[in-house]
Structure 1
Amino acid sequence: MLPVKKYWEDPHVLHVNRREARASYIPYAGQAAARAGQRGGSPFYQTLNGSWKFQYYPSVTQVQDGFYDEKADISGWDELLVPSCWQVNGYDQLQYVNVRYPIPVDPPYVPDMNPAGVYVREFNMREDWESKKKFIVFEGVNACFYLWVNGVFVGYSQGSRIPAEFDLSHVVKKGRNRIAVMVLKWCDGTYLEDQDLWRYTGIFRDVYLLAREQVHIRDVFVKQTLTDDFSQAALNVELAAEGSAEVKLELQDAEGKPMGSTAAVIDAQGCVELKIENPQLWNAERPYLYQLYISCGEEVLRFPVGFRRIEITDGVFKINHQAVKLKGVNRHDSHPELGQTIPVAHMLQDLRLMKKHNVNTIRSSHYPNDTRFLELCNEFGFYVVDEADLECHGIGRAEDWAEGAFHKLSANPEWKGAFVERAVRMVERDKNQPCVILWSMGNESGYAENHIAMAQWTRGRDSSRPVHYEGAAPIYKGNPDVSSLDLESRMYASVEDIRVYAEDESQTKPLFLCEYSHAMGNGPGDLKDYWEVIYRYPKLMGGCVWEWCDHGIQAKTADGVPYYAYGGDFGEEPHDGNFCIDGLVTPDRVPHTGLLELKQVIAPIRIEEEDLKKGLVRLTNLYDFIDLSHVALRWKLEKDGRAIQQGSVWELSAAPHAEQLLKLPYELPEAQAEQLLLTISCWLKDETDWAEAGHEIMFRQFELAAAQAAGASAGGAVPGQGAGGHAAGIQVKEEAGTLTVEGFDFRHMFDMHLGAFTEISRHGVAMLAAPALFSIWRAPTDNDMYIKKKWQDKGLDSAKTKVYHCAWKREGEHAVSVEVRFSLTGYNRYPYLYGEAVWVVDGTGAIQLDSKIKVREDLEFLPRFGLQLTMPQGMEEVEYFGYGPHESYIDKRQSVKRGRYRFKVDELFEHYIMPQENGSRFGTEWAVVSNALGMGLAFQASEAFSFHAAHYTPGDLTKAAHTYELSKRKETIVHLDYKMSGVGSASCGPELLEPYRLNEKEFQYKLTLLPVFKEDGY
């Protein structure tokens, strides 16, 4: 039996012997070392990262007493790297759950079978540390742990993602020492850590020793005041010392130039002031950092100083007196192989990607991140919403969201200390980080007295930053006292909801969308709509897309095929499936097209038409603090997908929030039938820490009509159109229900029973491998989560054609028409729609479709409507004029450019971890699918259509749960859609907006199919 108390089920015991929370720092031996910031370069720092002896037990009750003894035999134990997570190293159960607890809900109790991991390692203490105080710091341990050194119990701590520090001075000795740690998977704190993530356990962040002088600075709070005109700044540095400490403070600018210094004697606590004239201000666009050095004895502490003022005036969120829009993402700690252990290189990868995609804000969902991440945010320039490690989502779920259920823990006075401590430890650690602009009191935990106490303590400790907590929103029923909260916050409010709030004069707080526009799978599809409204109203301060990355875990099938696993793939129960695959980037940080869309929508430059005939465009600088002198501009005029004029503008000057009129020196050609495309791109002039010179910030396209000719098209002629044969007479015959139409160089066959073409060929080259069919089904996207059930319940996924009437007739010597009346219906269902289709084949071999469709009145909007063609093996070449280079949809097309594109079929495919509709091209003017010799089918419609080509049918994608389950077809499946419904963000957000639904009850669709030999057209 272990000689430890059962602290893990006592909400009144949050720690034993743990030091009070303090600001994050590492003591160094001089200013140069402190400025370099390399922990290992400090003689007062010693890492305990590395290989530890490790023993896993399915239950803490199985742990044998004595493992912590100096002489305990651990030679047969496993080796485990620290920091790391058990579950990605083969111990315990990998498990993903969202809003549910993975344990029975019986707070503060947890299962008796509570897994435990015992860590042991030996370390040598440096001789020059003997006279110093010795401390150990655990940056992150999930969920609670007990600590022994040299056989002596040192302490206990819980609260997974915030440091725990213990004084070891009384137990360590010169030379060899042994440390033992017992980590438990669950404790009463588990009820406060029910975040939407993989449930990882272990010592997952750094562990290290610190040597401190007997008299030293224990805590520092760098407060600042700025005059209204920012001409003067004062640092009021609150110091807490152990003993009577002589200190010297020096402030240096970013280049290391001294800006002021002072000295003082601090007896336990004191405050020292430094003043500076005309300080340079910190913001995310120009993250200027001063460095404050505090010397005490041999130690030097360094703190970054970013002078900035955060305020709310007249309901507008401002930084340095400037209204700022937070263009953010929610970011979990997530690594596809290491779990929640995040290397610095991985943090840098995330931040550089975010910066490249115009993100300026990060919500640390839903817990404080590693302190080094915040230090990087200071340097790169990000606004951070620092969030307490607090979420008790499952409390509401356990009672099926009964009245008051969600607030049970927040309203329980027995848990007040646990709630408040989570704010205290976050604020004390991060209070000196300039990037932190908002304190968040956690996430989705109800709202009552305990949350109010958190917010009140936070405001009392740090009045310089607003306090946020979404759980107090009026949509939740609970305590109405929100006076301690400075913002109004919402999750997944609709565009209309935020507009109504912005126009409500009784609402005096700025509105922050802490989560919006769910980026799961093929999405999000509503970003443009949100940001049009956010920019329109000053009271709307922006928000954070959910979320940054897919939380897939690198895994392999039994056959060794690599894939990204999600909930349920490890046999765990309960689990929440692929709801963790909901990011803007893949687990290995490849951007999804949703991130490209976000980049364009929140771009810091807007370009609008002024007078395009004269080459005049208007640039609006949407940066808040910098002008456009760091940006250059390229422009290109295209005809038929080819550049005919182009140039650059190197001198841009618009001030923040100002406009600039620009004249582009192009000359429009003489009157002609073609339309022209003008593409304007803004890019970085110089290399930065996060992007190369020439990195594109944003673009804008305009259509120019050099002449208002009927049928003018920016795409020009379809390749191969008109080449080869001529409009000679045709031969038509019907035999055994098959209509055969033969011309000069083509032969087409139409099945009168199916009402469909079964063969289209030219010069004997077959263009079809199966009958052409009308189609309404798409493989549901993740954001189709709720409408999918309605679609499938009605059988849309198994819709079949019923032919009522099919007849043909000659249309003179050179054409034949086939009239078909049909419906699409499913098993045990009335028809979804009725259609009349007239197919006309002329002497060139062109097939023209004219269809009129009536959709059943009570049917929800359709996924799509169009023609599905199965083309033979070898039809791998795709050329089209439309939007590219990546996929686009009616509500997800801001990041694509109109132009002429060529791809292989596989290059059109977007590899979402959960297979779903992907790769469609909205607004296509024409497309050609052919073999390598250019032999294939050309498609053109009277109005732009949605085009899709893949080696999978919608049914293939619907059935597969992972990409590796897809079996690639040899044939090429082509969809030519009148319309495809948008993708939205309804897996967690509002329903798909009306303008993006295919909900027309009557429409007409015209399309032309032409067998072509493209090479003959050049």
Structure 2
Amino acid sequence: MITIEKYWENQNLLHVNREPARAYYIPYEDYASAALRKRLQSPFYRTLNGSWKFRYHASLKHVVDNFYAEDSDVTGWDDLLVPSCWQTNGYDQMHYTNTNYPIPCDPPFVPDDNPAGLYVRDFKVPENWREKENYIVFEGVNSCFYLWINGAFVGYSQGSRNASEFNITPYLRTGDNRIALMVLKWCDGTYMEDQDMWRYSGIFRDVYLLARDRAHVRDVFIRQEITDDFRLGRLLCEVEMTGSREVAIEIRAAEGCMLQAASAVIDGRGTIALEIEEPVLWNAEQPYLYSVSVKAGEEVLAFRTGFRQIRIVDGVFLINGRAVKLKGVNRHESHPELGAVIPLSHMIKDLNLMKRHNINTIRTAHYPNDPRFLELCDEYGFYVIDEADLEAHGMSSAEKWAEGAINRLSDNPDWEAAFVERAERMVERDKNFPCVIIWSLGNEAGYGVNHIAMGRWTRTRDNSRPVHYEGAAARYKGSTNVDYLDMESHMYETVPFIEEYAKDDSKTKPLFLCEYCHSMGNSPGDLQDYWKVIYQYPKLMGGCVWEWCDHGVKAETEDGRTYFAYGGDFGDMPNDGNFCIDGLVSPDRVPHTGLLELKQVIAPVRIEAEELASGKMRLTNLYDFLDLSHLALYWKVEKDGIVQQQGHVLHLEAKPHGGQQMLVLPYWLPQEQGRYFLTLSFRQKLETRWSEPGYEIAFQQFELPVGKTQTDLQVQAQPQRSSCHDHKLCAISAGQLLVMEGFDFRHTFDLDGGTLIGLSRHGVNMLVAPAKWNIWRAPIDNDQPMKARWIVEGYDRAAMKVYRCKWKQQPDGAVTISVDYSLGGYIRYPLMHGTTTWRFDNNGRVSLRTELKVREDLPFLPRFGLQLTMPAGTDEVEYFGYGPHESYVDKRLSARMSKYGMSVDDMFENYIRPQENGSRYGTEWGIVSNRQGMGLRFNAPSPFSLQASYYTPEDLAAAKHDHELRPRKETIVNLDYKMSGIGSNSCGPELHEDYRLQEQEFSFELDITPIFKEDE
């Protein structure tokens, strides 16, 4: 067993021999190479990424002494790439947990069987490094590590997502060297790293060597001062040296031209000031970056800075003097195959997607990200809330969520140094990134004296950025001293709450929703409600949706099919199941429909109809700093989904921040009857690094006032069946069956069962199971708080009881059938009672009207509608309604009214945990047919929801993963009077009453017609 000092259980000993935290930079030999930011081109940089020798031990007890010796034989060890995570390489236990600690809660102690990973690598040091000071930098190691060079102990560090740097000059020699690390899975820092995520271990970020001059620049802090009229910007370059040396500072414009230079001899610490007249300001919409080079001796350090001013005035959050709404997401560092290792290309993919969906803010939930990510945020233009690597949620779980339990660490002075260091290492590393606009003191770790100390230190070190911490919200007891927090932050508040806050004059700080609209599964459904209020009140500064991506882990079934795994799939305990599958994009970054909804809700341009009849439109610019000259407006008029007129406006001139522009579009109102929709599309004129020319930023749609009523639509949309055959319906009762035959059709009704069981035309059977009323949907993740109540009442097993069924043939030949029925499940009283009148006419059309009364004491219904089972091969869908993707009553702003044609597969929206999906809200007519066009047409006097799928709700509900689904040959068609909304109740407020199906009485009408599309 290895003999070492037991540093990992002492919250007051956070490192041994680690260098003080400093700003992120790489030294280069000249400005030209520094400007390229290619680290391998620096002669002072050597990467240690690559293949290392590795040995995993399930317990620290099994680690033997002297494995780190320079002559230790490691030839039989495994090869492991660095950076990487143990768990994604087959070592240790894949483990997802949210609030619960994976170890006994006994701070600062951790289990004696503490898994350990041993790393060894041989490397060379060039001769010209002999006269240099040599350092090693670890950007991220989880959770703590011991370091040896050539057999000598160098130091110890913890704090998983913060950089650790050691001066290794005394231990190196030119030529061959050996480095060894022992990484432990747990340490006292584990109690402060209880974030909602997969628990990965190992060296998961870059490792590299730096060769520095003996007297070199150790740290740089580029502070800014901008006059209130923004006409003069001053850079105060605070430089810390390891010895006395002349330091030269230069600032260049983004285009490369040198603007100003200054120099001074600095011994220890000093400040060099530069001034720029009429500086170009940085913001997320126009991320203009100046280059600042710091030269001392043989080294050039390059920083990019953006002049920007961040203030809070009268409760309003301002950037460069303008009130800005933060349209953000929370982003964990998550890769479906590499775990916490995030390649540069993956970062770029995330940022491109965010830009394409109008997102301007990222909260680094819940730790500082890779510094290269912040470099990209500077370039792309994102506001970043930089969050300390601090969460202690498990303290609450340990005490069964007792009041005040979460404050056990934050209120304990013994942990003050550990808390403050988390802020210090974040701020020092990231202080020169202009994208960082807010410092965050962590997440869900209570609030106490240690957070106050963090806030005090942060304010003292950098007073140019406001400080955020949600844990101080009033819901946590003892939150009395919040002087060091510049905003009030909340999670998952209701829309009425934030509006009440905005109206309360006693609330002097802006309100920031650091988490809202939990995007788990088919979600979120309440975005538009939040942003209607956020835009209305200056005190509301916006928020960050939880969260950016699903944290699924790519896995493989025994038969070789890939899928995304979640908590519990690896036998991990405790686990929180699929709670990590809660993002706007899938693990491989395929957008969910929730991201499309967010894009439209936070779109930076709005257009309203001033006078539709004459084409007058009012355009409002919601950008904060950009006018609309970079966009073009394309418009089209469709009749029943077919384009009739179109055009474009290439010159848009509305000024930023609410500027308006009146437009007159040169369309004319049609004379021919029909449904006419005007669709306006705002598109990029030029290519950007994240979009192609013509990329759509936002759209808006209006129905033109042609005078068409919904009743007219119903008549117009009906198939015009020929009646020249003069053939009346023949109805034959055979026991419980009523068979109705016409000129070219044959329908069958089950009188005992009270429902339709057969529909055919020209001998083509179009129904292979009895039609049934359905109130159940495969629960979405947001239904989980309601699911138990629904099941208790029997919603999932509701069957029809027929009390009376009578039929009659009318004088015109049509047959009417009246059915009195109820729906209910075992144990409970019936859920509802109703009467349905069916009508079968001479042309084969089936019309129905059902009237229902719902039991008064019931929770709201998931849905109500008719479910049909159509035969194999029925795989084409055509409809007029919202599309092309799924839409719901509270999740449809990103969909547009038109005529769509697609396959049943196209109707399906895949969620990692199967659930209700693919419904099309506001459908006015639909056709589900085989490829020859033989099928059923559905019409209703009021819009309905249409869904066609190869799965029943029961199929979806029974599957835990998408790969478990087995598509049926038949097509399941749901024609819903209404479907309850989506909301975000998996971790947010309850579904708003406006989006619930909770009517006590209602009626539903529907027409079903067998058709051959090509002959209609």
The TM-score range, normalised by the shorter chain, is: over 0.9
Whether 1:879 aligns to 2:886 is: no
CA distance in 2 between counterparts of 1:956 and 1:101 reads 34
Structure 1 residue 710: deviation in Å? 6.2
CA distance in 2 between counterparts of 1:988 and 1:449 reads 29
CA distance in 1 between counterparts of 2:313 and 2:123 reads 55
CA distance in 2 between counterparts of 1:616 and 1:1000 reads 39
**What does residue range 446-465 of structure 1 map to in structure 2 within 5 Å?**
446-465=446-465
Whether 1:311 aligns to 2:306 is: no
Structure 1 residue 814: deviation in Å? 2.3
CA distance in 1 between counterparts of 2:476 and 2:796 reads 37
Question: Could you report, residue by residue, the CA deviation over 1:375-396 in whole angstroms, capped at 9, with x for unpaired residues?
Answer: 0000000000000000000001
Question: Could you report, residue by residue, the CA deviation over 1:524-544 in whole angstroms, capped at 9, with x for unpaired residues?
Answer: 000000000000000000000
Q: Which runs of 5+ in 2 are unaligned?
A: none
Letter in 2 for 1:451: H
Structure 1 residue 478: deviation in Å? 2.0
CA distance in 1 between counterparts of 2:775 and 2:506 reads 46
CA distance in 2 between counterparts of 1:811 and 1:406 reads 73
2:959 counterpart residue number? 960
Whether 1:918 aligns to 2:917 is: yes
Structure 1 residue 962: deviation in Å? 0.5
Secondary structure (helix, strand or coil) at the match of 2:426 reads helix
CA distance in 2 between counterparts of 1:180 and 1:979 reads 64
Q: Is the 8 A contact 2:718 2:939 kept in 1?
A: no
- Percent identity of equivalent pairs: 61
Structure 1 residue 673: deviation in Å? 2.7
Q: Which runs of 5+ in 1 are unaligned?
A: none
CA distance in 2 between counterparts of 1:946 and 1:465 reads 48
Q: Is the 8 A contact 1:28 1:299 kept in 2?
A: yes
Structure 1 residue 785: deviation in Å? 1.2
Question: Could you report, residue by residue, the CA deviation over 1:963-1009 in whole angstroms, capped at 9, with x for unpaired residues?
Answer: 11111100000000000000110000000001000000100111111
Whether 1:665 aligns to 2:666 is: yes
1:849 counterpart residue number? 848
Whether 1:597 aligns to 2:560 is: no
Change (3 A) 1:719 1:875: farther
CA distance in 2 between counterparts of 1:89 and 1:883 reads 45
Of stretches 46-55 and 961-970 in structure 1, the one that deviates more from structure 2 is 961-970
CA distance in 2 between counterparts of 1:355 and 1:113 reads 46
Question: Could you report, residue by residue, the CA deviation over 1:282-301 in whole angstroms, capped at 9, with x for unpaired residues?
Answer: 00000000000010011000
Question: Could you report, residue by residue, the CA deviation over 1:258-310 in whole angstroms, capped at 9, with x for unpaired residues?
Answer: 11110101110011100110000000000000000010011000111100000
**What does residue range 382-401 of structure 1 map to in structure 2 within 5 Å?**
382-401=382-401
Q: Is the 8 A contact 1:915 1:958 kept in 2?
A: yes
2:375 counterpart residue number? 375
Letter in 2 for 1:37: R
1:733 counterpart residue number? 732
Letter in 2 for 1:580: C
**What does residue range 574-653 of structure 1 map to in structure 2 within 5 Å?**
574-653=574-653
Letter in 1 for 2:637: L
Whether 1:981 aligns to 2:972 is: no
Structure 1 residue 733: deviation in Å? 1.5
Q: Is the 8 A contact 2:140 2:161 kept in 1?
A: yes
Q: Is the 8 A contact 2:882 2:922 kept in 1?
A: yes
Letter in 1 for 2:732: K
Structure 1 residue 827: deviation in Å? 1.1
Secondary structure (helix, strand or coil) at the match of 1:711 reads helix
Structure 1 residue 718: deviation in Å? 3.9
Question: Could you report, residue by residue, the CA deviation over 1:897-946 in whole angstroms, capped at 9, with x for unpaired residues?
Answer: 10000111111001100000000000000000011111110001110001
CA distance in 1 between counterparts of 2:870 and 2:648 reads 43
CA distance in 1 between counterparts of 2:472 and 2:248 reads 44
**What does residue range 445-524 of structure 1 map to in structure 2 within 5 Å?**
445-524=445-524
CA distance in 2 between counterparts of 1:432 and 1:716 reads 66
CA distance in 1 between counterparts of 2:716 and 2:904 reads 22
Letter in 2 for 1:648: H
Question: Could you report, residue by residue, the CA deviation over 1:166-197 in whole angstroms, capped at 9, with x for unpaired residues?
Answer: 00000000100000000000000000000000
2:784 counterpart residue number? 785
CA distance in 2 between counterparts of 1:55 and 1:722 reads 77
1:1011 counterpart residue number? 1010
TM norm structure 1: 0.99
Letter in 2 for 1:553: V
Q: Is the 8 A contact 1:84 1:204 kept in 2?
A: yes
CA distance in 2 between counterparts of 1:718 and 1:117 reads 69
Secondary structure (helix, strand or coil) at the match of 1:705 reads coil
Change (3 A) 1:167 1:940: same
Structure 1 residue 43: deviation in Å? 0.3
Letter in 2 for 1:244: S
Letter in 2 for 1:982: G
1:833 counterpart residue number? 832
CA distance in 1 between counterparts of 2:426 and 2:722 reads 71
1:5 counterpart residue number? 5
Letter in 1 for 2:873: G
2:185 counterpart residue number? 185
Secondary structure (helix, strand or coil) at the match of 1:471 reads helix
**What does residue range 167-316 of structure 1 map to in structure 2 within 5 Å?**
167-316=167-316
Whether 1:82 aligns to 2:94 is: no
**What does residue range 414-453 of structure 1 map to in structure 2 within 5 Å?**
414-453=414-453
Q: Is the 8 A contact 1:490 1:513 kept in 2?
A: yes
1:996 counterpart residue number? 995
Question: Could you report, residue by residue, the CA deviation over 1:740-791 in whole angstroms, capped at 9, with x for unpaired residues?
Answer: 1111111111001110010011111111000000000000001111111111
CA distance in 2 between counterparts of 1:267 and 1:789 reads 69
The aligned length equals 1015
Q: Is the 8 A contact 1:721 1:1012 kept in 2?
A: no
Change (3 A) 1:507 1:179: same
Letter in 2 for 1:120: V
CA distance in 2 between counterparts of 1:825 and 1:811 reads 32
Secondary structure (helix, strand or coil) at the match of 2:194 reads coil
Whether 1:148 aligns to 2:148 is: yes
Secondary structure (helix, strand or coil) at the match of 1:411 reads coil
Q: Is the 8 A contact 1:638 1:645 kept in 2?
A: yes
2:26 counterpart residue number? 26
Q: Is the 8 A contact 1:725 1:844 kept in 2?
A: no
Q: Is the 8 A contact 2:473 2:479 kept in 1?
A: no
Q: Is the 8 A contact 1:720 1:1014 kept in 2?
A: no
Structure 1 residue 716: deviation in Å? 8.8
Secondary structure (helix, strand or coil) at the match of 1:24 reads coil
Change (3 A) 1:1004 1:725: farther
Change (3 A) 1:899 1:152: same
2:761 counterpart residue number? 762
TM norm structure 2: 0.99
CA distance in 1 between counterparts of 2:101 and 2:271 reads 45
CA distance in 2 between counterparts of 1:661 and 1:725 reads 54
Whether 1:410 aligns to 2:400 is: no
CA distance in 2 between counterparts of 1:480 and 1:975 reads 54
CA distance in 2 between counterparts of 1:724 and 1:202 reads 77
Letter in 2 for 1:664: L
Q: Is the 8 A contact 1:984 1:993 kept in 2?
A: yes
Secondary structure (helix, strand or coil) at the match of 1:444 reads coil
CA distance in 2 between counterparts of 1:433 and 1:725 reads 78
CA distance in 1 between counterparts of 2:942 and 2:125 reads 77
CA distance in 2 between counterparts of 1:60 and 1:45 reads 33
Q: Is the 8 A contact 2:840 2:846 kept in 1?
A: yes
Whether 1:133 aligns to 2:133 is: yes
Change (3 A) 1:350 1:721: farther
Question: Could you report, residue by residue, the CA deviation over 1:127-177 in whole angstroms, capped at 9, with x for unpaired residues?
Answer: 111100000000000000000000000000000001000000000001000
CA distance in 1 between counterparts of 2:783 and 2:695 reads 34
Change (3 A) 1:159 1:728: same
Change (3 A) 1:571 1:654: same
Question: Could you report, residue by residue, the CA deviation over 1:551-599 in whole angstroms, capped at 9, with x for unpaired residues?
Answer: 0000001111110000000111111100000000000000000000000
Q: Is the 8 A contact 1:720 1:1016 kept in 2?
A: no
Aligned CA RMSD, in angstroms, stands at 1.0
Q: Is the 8 A contact 1:639 1:716 kept in 2?
A: no
Q: Is the 8 A contact 2:27 2:34 kept in 1?
A: yes
